[in-house]
Amino acid sequence: IFETNIINLAVVVAVVVSFVGQNLTSLLEDRKKTIVNNLQEANQRAKEAQEKLNQAKNQLEIAKNKAQEIREEGVVKAAQEIQNCVTEHEQRLARLEEFKQETVQFYQQKAFKQAYLYVISRIMNRVRERLNSGLDATYHVVVNNFYVSRFTEYNP
């Protein structure tokens, strides 16, 4: 009996292997193809993710550079604006100083003119007094005419 069992078992195993073996082989092949496809898809997704990561890093670097440029441009513009304000202020101060000098010069000229007119009128009065006190009428007219002609020729 034992021998028949072994023979029966061998026949059953042979039948199972012949029928199930092909199915098992095809199942294993299908499973292998599925696993290979999944690995390929995973590799493809990993490559895509790496590309996206690289693109994001590049965009980040570009954004950092742009931000640095904007900062530098802001500093330059601020410095230019400060320089413009300083220049404008200096120009205003120069105009104010010029106006002050013109005003001072005007009042100096006015004061000199008033002083000149006062001195001339005093001199004329003193000359008239001296001439009236010690000269005769003819000589008096000649001297007056001489000095009057000299003063009229004089231009300050």
What angle is formed at CA 14 by the lines to CA 13 and CA 19, rounded to 5 degrees?
A: 100
Cα 17 from chain centre:
85
- Residue 68: strand, helix, or coil: helix
Q: Note the pLDDT of residue 26.
A: 79
Q: Quick one: average pLDDT of 19-40?
A: 84
CA distances from 67 to 70, 96, 122 (A): 5, 43, 81
Whole-angstrom Cα distance, residue 4 to residue 17? 19
Whole-structure pTM over 0.85, yes or no? no
- 53-88: per-residue pLDDT in tens? 999 999 999 999 999 999 999 999 999 999 999 999
Q: Are 143 and 133 in contact (CB under 8 A)?
A: no
Share of the chain above pLDDT 70, in %: 92
